A and B are shown apart, each in its own frame.
Chain A
Amino acid sequence: MTDLARRHHNLPWFSLLVFFVTAVACAKPGVVGQLRYKNQAPVWRVNDRRDVAKKPGEYRFYAIRDRFEAVVVRPLEDALNVSEPRRAKDINSLGEAPDSTWFTNRMGLRQLSLREVARGPNRGDGPDLSAPLVILKSKGGGSAIGFVAEDVTGTRYILKFDHLKQPIIETATDVVVQRILWACGYNVPENSVIYLGRDRLAVTERSTIRDAIGKRPLTESDVDEVLTRVPGRADGRFRVLASKYLPGVPVGGISPVGVREDDVNDTIRHEDRRVLRGLYVFFSWLQYTDVKSGNTLDMWVEDAERPGRHYVMHYLLDFGKSLGAFGPLHGRIYDGHAYNFDFMYDFLSLFTLGLWQRPWEGTPDPGLPGLSPLDAEHFDPGAWKPHWPYSPFRHMDEYDGYWAAKIVMSFTPAHIRVAVEQGRFDHARAVEHLTRVLVQRQRRIGEYWFRRVNPLDGFALGEREGRVRLCFDDLLLRHGLADRTSGRYAATSFNFSGKSLGWRADVRPGIGTAATGNEQGHAYTACVDGFSLAENNHGYTIVRLDTWRGDRRLLPVEVHIARHPISGVARIIGIHRR
């Protein structure tokens, strides 16, 4: 059983049997599926900013109920319903996620500069410290100690401190992960690591604190007392994570299933959203295991360009316990390997009497301030687990994983390094170490997910004198994850009704067919040419690309091509991975 199937262990066995039988029965070489695309350019932006005039109701995170649902109810219901896997629905005809209130294409399709990654979503350098920050109240929720404060410009920030025994870890981790997730395309708050002296924190008559007694006025001595519980620095200052208040009105977290009934733009069930399913890959890369709706936030915002119109923006929050920080902070060394209640691991651990070396054991502690045990050797991208099952992850498939892995792999080591530097670690060696680990984990992700599908991508089309040329990259080869001599491809073409057009070409990467002239090309690129588009249906042609990796034949990729109805220019209108 594959790792993916293992992770989806609750998939009913008979469904697997059904798919196996039907796959064997229907797998006829040389045919194309029945999926057809509209003759239009791929959609890169969707309109999910229609006016939501009334503030949506607050979605409250019920930790126990949500976990009961995720652990017991939904797997049981899926099994009894004999649910079939279903592909993500928030994607365009190329299998990419268009820009929306959930996601903005950044790394991957729009490459970011190092400067952009370094800055992330931040518009400034954190709070204006020319005058003391006025504490409004003590921070509620979460385990970190902190305050809500306002700077001289009236901008509000949540100030979070590190744990006394584990300095640097939480503040640095938060900013590193925030920068990377933003670069991946998600909405995140503006977070920065700053250093504050005690004189930069002020209390007014508006300041309140909620402690065991309840809500009461905050005093200077309360602030002093709080600061005794956080690590100070040699120069007397404190290291603080400043997280800027998000614009708009909070309306609770993102439900892991279903939609917001009172949001007209929320039309795709959340478990069917690729941008949520794909988080599995990003979170596994960054060891972000505290996955729950409580760590997400929907904001009802007014459209800056069109005053009076409102819509809901979707954010990810609280990244401080990623990168393995749950180990040193809470003793959860199984972070990323097992659920908090993981019956299989608990059962095996109980009855093997400790003789079984569990997958996470032996993860080395780097011994550098601000870093937690995290490595690539103990990382299995297909077997990674958050602390609790999360419904979108249960529904994710290899196509979601492939989509996310492409984005992960688009980060160069320089991109990763510049994001890590924003954590403001005390030691350069910490930056070096974490960058190296993230690059290694990145490659594991690419190797795993690019082998789950046929990883042909980067399709490009050209036409000269009625002869069409189709070029594509083999991502496993492009990223050096497979032997460059191992791939070969066969292309066949079909018309709209699925009838063969009688053309076939065999090609190897970096060589191309005799007519392509790809000899100067990269070793991971292959081109097929010399074929003609169908004569009817605006030239609707499907090029089926079969890939052999050694002797293993992968499921094909179908490239749908049609002529523009007006200009007649041939273009790719859809890509379907079987």
Chain B
Amino acid sequence: MACKKTSCRWLYCLGLVVGLAGMARVAGANEPIEVRTTKPRPAEVPVKAHEETDVEPAARIPDQESDEDLDRAPLPQEASGILIERDRSRHVWLAIPRAMLFVPRWALEVPIAVSRYTLWAYEHYDVKDRFKQVFFNQDETLGLYPSAFLETGFGYNVGARFVWTEFFGKGESIRARAGYGGRSERVFEAKLSSGRIFDDRILIGTVVDYEDSGRARFFGIGNSDLVTFDRDLTPVAAPFDETAVATRFAREDVRVELLVQARLSELLAVRTSSAFRHSSFGRSTDLRGDDGLHTVYDTGLLVGHDPGLDSLYGEVELACDTRRVSYSHLPEPVPSRGHRIDAWIGYQRGLAGDPSRFVRFGAEAQRYFDLWRGDRVLVLRARFEGVVGGLDRIPFVDFPALGGPYVLRGYPRDRFRDRHAGLLTAEYNYPIQHWATGYIFAEAGRVWRRFGDLNLDDNRLGFGAGMQFSTMESFLARLLVASSIDGGIEFSLSFDPIFGARKRAGRTQ
């Protein structure tokens, strides 16, 4: 006897009674149809040994059945032929955890239901398409739509964007945006791009923008460590005194830029850009724990601070880009190998009372090493930028600068400025998903006053990690968490590729 327990015997007895009753019913009322035919097997299927004997295989199925057969066939839920189910009573004690989880189970129903029906409504009512219908024309080439995003450390930016593309069907576009909050108090920008109107190899663009920022940062001029400003002292005489204090100031910029870019070959491109810029500076009313620039620095010595700047800038840049992916399944914005070399030279001259008069030059070389399978990539970058001109001819916002999400990450934006800035980067990219790439990096750099002082002492070192998001064809965003040997943690979300071309005309980094 397999089971000697009394309860088991009862179950067996019960099963026997039920089974006998069931079989009696089966035998009497539901006479099964006897099937005798089997379909011949094709020659390539081996014949089983017992097919040559007198045994009957269990799995014999009819070739064709009539509709009458179909009508007599059992319903799907009756196909199992089970008379007595398996005993599941041994799992009854699962009721204990079920009872314990009853409350959290039903408590979760509410947020799940809300999420479920929100997503359902989003798709059912085509909210995305309706959004486009409201804010775009039918072919989605003309639109005016709201925008909102969060800039870490600066707060929310809300505004609106306008886009008009393909009016000649050649990829040309007019784009404009207006925003409030975030890094800029107010920003208005309009861009015109020629697309492929002239030629696939020539691109002409123009940008007009206005930006009012109430909390731009200034840390003095030089490579010094940050200090706390003693209000009893006299103001710092930058650029002659390299004391670095975290300060903020307000600035207003109007900029008009013209860009012409020509692709000379598959690898070589030349870009000329020129810009007019009007800038005025004032006191920040949103210091966020920093000092005001006017209380720390002698603004009379900061070239261009008073009464402001009106300048013209022209630049020529040559770029050679051989970067590519090793395999076609890898996203193009994350190259595996090759190099990019940029060199540029430009000249800025002030108008009216603006004393600006200097030459800007620089070069950047990037090299990509495919370490493994095309997606473990080491990127090395060397960058140097300088200005040539008298200290009284270089506006304080136009010194080459380091710090921020693109150069010398790990330090605040524009943390270091001076006549010359040098930077070395080592970054390692590795795959996470086809749309996400991880990276870790270390960067060393510093600024110098005179070219002859160039040395590797007192280098600043930043390091960190992050993720880059992209489609197969285009870059989307970069998330960065960085720090430095001087402490502090910097977060940023940037929407421009770090190793792409930088625009300088009319801009201060």
Residues of B within 8 A of A567 (CB): 34
Residues of B within 8 A of A114 (CB): 42, 44
Contact of B75 among A12, A32, A39, A47 (CB under 8 A): A47
Q: Knowing A349-B433, A497-B15, A540-B23 are in contact, say whether A458-B75 is a contact too (CB < 8 A).
A: no
Contact between B329 and A327 (Cβ–Cβ < 8 Å)?
yes
Q: Please report the C-alpha to C-alpha distance between residue A81 and residue B87 in the assembled complex, in whole angstroms.
A: 20
Q: Please report the C-alpha to C-alpha distance between residue A522 and residue B45 in the assembled complex, in whole angstroms.
A: 14
Q: Is the C-beta of B226 less than 8 angstroms from some C-beta in chain A?
A: no
Q: Is the C-beta of B53 less than 8 angstroms from some C-beta in chain A?
A: yes
Contact between B76 and A353 (Cβ–Cβ < 8 Å)?
no
Q: Is the C-beta of B62 less than 8 angstroms from some C-beta in chain A?
A: yes
Residues of A within 8 A of B46 (CB): 522
Residues of A within 8 A of B27 (CB): 39, 538, 565
Contact between B97 and A82 (Cβ–Cβ < 8 Å)?
yes
Q: Is the C-beta of A486 less than 8 angstroms from some C-beta in chain B?
A: no
Residues of A within 8 A of B124 (CB): 60, 62
Q: Is the C-beta of A96 less than 8 angstroms from some C-beta in chain B?
A: yes
Beta-carbon contacts under 8 Å, B125-150 to A: 138-141
Contact between B76 and A522 (Cβ–Cβ < 8 Å)?
no
Beta-carbon contacts under 8 Å, B33-62 to A: 33-35, 39, 41-42, 44-46, 48-51, 53-59, 61-62
Q: Please report the C-alpha to C-alpha distance between residue A64 and residue B104 in the assembled complex, in whole angstroms.
A: 25
Beta-carbon contacts under 8 Å, A37-76 to B: 37-49, 60, 62-65, 68-69, 72-73, 76
Contact between B61 and A109 (Cβ–Cβ < 8 Å)?
yes
Contact between A521 and B329 (Cβ–Cβ < 8 Å)?
no
The smallest C-beta distance from B424 to any residue of chain A, in angstroms, reads 21
Contact between A36 and B84 (Cβ–Cβ < 8 Å)?
yes
Residues of B within 8 A of A471 (CB): 49-50, 53, 55
Contact of A41 among B33, B45, B55 (CB under 8 A): B33
Contact between A39 and B57 (Cβ–Cβ < 8 Å)?
no
Q: Please report the C-alpha to C-alpha distance between residue A47 and residue B372 in the assembled complex, in whole angstroms.
A: 57
Q: Please report the C-alpha to C-alpha distance between residue A340 and residue B76 in the assembled complex, in whole angstroms.
A: 35
**Interface locus among A85-93, A122-130, A228-236, A240-248:** A85-93
Contact between B376 and A354 (Cβ–Cβ < 8 Å)?
yes
Q: Knowing A109-B59, A354-B372, A497-B15 are in contact, say whether A28-B54 is a contact too (CB < 8 A).
A: no
Q: Is the C-beta of A436 less than 8 angstroms from some C-beta in chain B?
A: no
Q: Is the C-beta of B120 less than 8 angstroms from some C-beta in chain A?
A: yes
Q: Please report the C-alpha to C-alpha distance between residue A367 and residue B67 in the assembled complex, in whole angstroms.
A: 51
Residues of B within 8 A of A527 (CB): 50, 55
Q: Is the C-beta of A551 less than 8 angstroms from some C-beta in chain B?
A: no
Q: Knowing A353-B440, A574-B81 are in contact, say whether A113-B42 is a contact too (CB < 8 A).
A: yes
Residues of B within 8 A of A464 (CB): 54
Residues of A within 8 A of B80 (CB): 89, 91-93
Interface string of B78-98 (1 = CB under 8 A from A): 111111111110110110011
Residues of B within 8 A of A571 (CB): 56, 58
Interface residues on B, range: 35 or more
Q: Is the C-beta of B233 less than 8 angstroms from some C-beta in chain A?
A: no
Contact between A34 and B120 (Cβ–Cβ < 8 Å)?
no
Contact between B49 and A521 (Cβ–Cβ < 8 Å)?
yes
Q: Knowing A110-B39, A473-B48 are in contact, say whether A73-B73 is a contact too (CB < 8 A).
A: no
Q: Is the C-beta of A222 less than 8 angstroms from some C-beta in chain B?
A: no
Q: Is the C-beta of B227 less than 8 angstroms from some C-beta in chain A?
A: no
Considering residues B15, B71, B75, which has the most beta carbons from chain A within 10 angstroms of its beta carbon? B75
Give residues in A with beta carbon < 8 Å to B: 12, 14-15, 18, 22, 26, 28, 30-49, 60, 62-65, 68-69, 72-73, 76-77, 80-82, 84, 89-94, 96, 98-100, 105, 109-114, 211-214, 265, 267-268, 305-306, 327-328, 330-334, 346, 349-350, 353-354, 361-362, 365, 373, 410, 412, 414-415, 458-462, 464, 469-471, 473, 496-500, 518, 520-522, 525, 527, 537-538, 540, 564-567, 571-575
Given contacts A47-B75, A328-B329, A520-B49, 19 further A-B contacts (CB under 8 A): A28-B2, A31-B2, A33-B87, A41-B35, A44-B62, A73-B116, A91-B80, A111-B41, A305-B67, A331-B329, A349-B433, A353-B440, A354-B430, A365-B327, A410-B45, A458-B59, A499-B1, A537-B20, A564-B34
Give residues in B with beta carbon < 8 Å to A: 1-3, 11-12, 15-16, 19-20, 22-23, 26-27, 30-35, 39, 41-42, 44-46, 48-51, 53-59, 61-63, 65, 67, 69-88, 90-91, 93-94, 97-98, 101, 104-105, 108, 112, 115-116, 119-120, 122-124, 138-141, 327-331, 372-373, 375-376, 428, 430-434, 436, 438, 440, 467, 472
The 6 nearest A-B residue pairs measured at CB: A354-B430, A521-B49, A462-B55, A93-B81, A565-B27, A572-B58
